[in-house]
A and B are shown apart, each in its own frame.
Chain A
């Protein structure tokens, strides 16, 4: 597995681009889910 994911001299550039992309996606996904749960709970208090 390690050999397959070793991109030689381009390792840094390939991994950095994937890491940044998926970190950003997970951040917006977590923020959205957090806000949705927060407001849903807040509104459930009313019922």
Chain B
């Protein structure tokens, strides 16, 4: 599959089929998810209505980690097999992942203030998420720090692979350390502890956000491929 899609022409053919599918499914899933999360999901007995922040906070946090994993995977493929499309993909994933990690921190603060009485604490989960955001920023900075784009690809790829160590730390931080952040309630050994009425909007928003992020990344890859193919002409015309 990786080798098949490594060819830009085949990737463009594949994207023609998958792009509208992702676009429409994200629109439908997020619309239904919004209805359930704002109007039809139950109020938490302790947190009241603030629990509704979960339906944007948790999908953003998951996506920030998933996208980092995908970015590090693309970076590894670029370093091992030297596929230029893998480098382009990693570069396109980074800004989208950064946006979702920033959204996680902002919506987390907005959830923390009414529940914990503070916008921020140096808690293991919050700090590891902040480190992920810093890794995203560092990757983007390093990848674009050189005059020639290709010079930045190798060091940025190495950095992103090193940063992947942070992903299990984020996941298990709530188990390894005493944190103010609540423990995992979905990915647990003994099954999810969250009620089905809350699980439905959460999953709808999560899959919807995932489809939307993939859609945006595919369009960004297409733009990069266009620029790469016609670089000289675009520079002359713009």
Complex Cα distance, B227 from A32, in Å, reads 14
Contact bitstring B46-86, A, C-beta under 8 A = 1, else 0: 00111011001100100000000000000000000000000
A-chain residues with CB within 8 Å of residue B230 when the two chains form the complex: 43, 46
* Chain B residues numbered 208-233 whose CB sits less than 8 Å from any CB in chain A: 212, 216, 219-220, 222-223, 226-227, 230, 233
Q: Is B113 an interface residue (CB 8 A)?
A: yes
Complex Cα distance, B56 from A45, in Å, reads 42
User: Are B220's CB and A10's CB within 8 A?
Assistant: no
Q: Is B238 an interface residue (CB 8 A)?
A: yes
User: Are A28's CB and B39's CB within 8 A?
Assistant: no
Complex Cα distance, B146 from A1, in Å, reads 54
User: Are B223's CB and A35's CB within 8 A?
Assistant: yes
Interface size class of B (residues with CB under 8 A): 20 to 34
Task: Point out which of A10, A11, A36, A39 has the most chain B C-beta atoms below 10 A from its C-beta.
Answer: A10
Classify the interface of chain A: helix, strand, loop or mixed: helix
A16-B110 contact in complex given A10-B48, A21-B56, A28-B99, C-beta closer than 8 Å: yes
Complex Cα distance, B226 from A22, in Å, reads 28
Closest to B49 in A: A7
A-chain residues with CB within 8 Å of residue B39 when the two chains form the complex: 4-5
User: Are B107's CB and A43's CB within 8 A?
Assistant: no
Contact bitstring B26-49, A, C-beta under 8 A = 1, else 0: 000000000000110000000011
Q: List 24 A-B contacts (CB under 8 A).
A: A7-B48, A7-B52, A13-B53, A13-B111, A14-B49, A14-B53, A17-B53, A17-B57, A17-B107, A18-B38, A20-B103, A21-B60, A28-B95, A28-B96, A28-B216, A32-B216, A32-B219, A32-B220, A35-B223, A39-B223, A39-B227, A40-B226, A45-B237, A46-B237
B interface with A by C-beta (< 8 Å)? 38-39, 48-50, 52-53, 56-57, 60, 95-96, 99, 102-103, 106-107, 110-111, 113-114, 212, 216, 219-220, 222-223, 226-227, 230, 233-234, 237-238
Given contacts A28-B95, A33-B219, A39-B226, 15 further A-B contacts (CB under 8 A): A5-B39, A9-B114, A14-B52, A14-B53, A17-B57, A17-B110, A21-B56, A21-B107, A24-B103, A25-B212, A35-B223, A42-B234, A43-B234, A45-B237, A46-B237
